[in-house]
Amino acid sequence: MSIKVALAGAGAFGIKHLDGIKNIDGVEVVSLISRDLEKTKEVAAKYGIGHVTTHLEHSLALKEVDAVILCTPTQMHAAQSIACLKAGKHVQVEIPLADTLRGALEVAAIQEQTGLVAMCGHTRRFNPSHQYVHKQIAAGKFNIQQMDVQTYFFRRSNMNALGQARSWTDHLLWHHAAHTVDLFAYQCGSPIVKANAIQGPIHPVLGIAMDMSIQLKTANGAICTLSLSFNNDGPLGTFFRYIGDSATYTARYDDLFNGKEEKIDVSKVDVSMNGIELQDREFFAAIREGREPNASVANVLPCYQVLHDLEQQLNA
């Protein structure tokens, strides 16, 4: 079964998906959607994509399109996911699924009505580093006692991952914390039952908190401390420390180290070392096999309930 895809968002993450899809047999990106037509044409030419538009609805009208990957601004995710599902297209939306609990629930409701594959890009579930830890837990060799996570960027101006000016505002809670909130519950195999948050001053121009601290606890007793900042001038990225009953692991994207800072070979964990590619492989496999994917919209909903509860605390 050949799958034809429309990809919305030709920015930093859209390009990561295009690079990953090149390695997946039987999948072709046939339509590219983004705001700047000339830049979109340049990207389309590089990747051999025939159809270019600035409007998602133009791509949804193409009968040959089976599925859509959304790498668009956070504020558009819920509405665009619903539009894709209503148009009869399977959809994978980059994290976060929505920037409100209501939006996330609305996407889940439409997915249930249509029965189409709807998946959210919770990439940490697919990174080989975190997969390695997950397999250790599943085999009964490791249990999480505590996770300490640092999510640090330097974004005092509105820039994307490529250092380019961004047309929308990112968010520490609804975007970056979503990775850890979901991963913590997923790795522990237990729901989050307690969550606390505090935040620093609101940026006078961006209108968001630039620093945040979150505490989590699962029903099985594991705890997590998450520190987030847009003020940190390096090193940049997210670093996960797993403290368990039999080992300590530090995950830095697709790389994994033990407590002595010795690198662990995770090259045989999956068919690729690229978490985005593995995420896309799961999406297309679920479409072909007619099944619910890992990180389905329904599966990640508890994360957005926690984010909603934390937002209520912060706004109180």
Mean pLDDT (the chain) is 95
**Full-prediction pTM beyond 0.75?**
yes
Give the pLDDT confidence score for residue 125 in this predicted structure.
98
Residue 210 pLDDT level (bands cut at 50, 70, 90):
very high
**Mean pLDDT calculated for residue range 174-181:** 96
Taking only the tens place, the pLDDT of each residue in 270-280 is 999 999 999 99
Higher pLDDT, 197 or 254: 197
Give the pLDDT confidence score for residue 170 in this predicted structure.
80
End-to-end CA distance of the chain, in Å?
Answer: 51
Structure tokens at 283: 């999406």
- Map out the domains of the chain as residue ranges: 3-123+275-295, 127-269
Say whether pLDDT at 166 is over 60: no
**Regarding beta strands 51-53 and 67-70, do their DSSP bridges make them parallel or antiparallel, or are they unpaired?**
unpaired
**Mean pLDDT calculated for residue range 145-168:** 74
The structural architecture, per CATH, of the domain 127-269 is 2-Layer Sandwich (3.30)
Give the pLDDT confidence score for residue 229 in this predicted structure.
95
Please give the CATH number for the structural domain made up of 3-123+275-295: 3.40.50.720
Please choose, from the candidates 99, 98, 127, the residue with its C-alpha nearest in 3D space to the C-alpha of residue 111: 98
Look up residue 241 and give its DSSP letter: E
Q: How far apart are CA 26 and CA 270, in angstroms?
A: 19
**Mean pLDDT calculated for residue range 40-60:** 98
**Mean pLDDT calculated for residue range 136-163:** 85
Measured at the alpha carbon of residue 93, what is the angle toward residues 56 and 274, in degrees to the nearest 5? 120
Please choose, from the candidates 53, 54, 66, the residue with its C-alpha nearest in 3D space to the C-alpha of residue 26: 66
Give the pLDDT confidence score for residue 253 in this predicted structure.
87
Higher pLDDT, 164 or 305: 305
Written as one string, the DSSP assignment of 174-194 is: IIIIHHHHHHHHHHHTS-EEE
Taking only the tens place, the pLDDT of each residue in 94-119 is 999 999 999 999 999 999 999 999 99
**Mean pLDDT calculated for residue range 169-187:** 93
Give the pLDDT confidence score for residue 5 in this predicted structure.
98
Structure tokens at 93: 């939306």
Structure tokens at 64: 């040959």
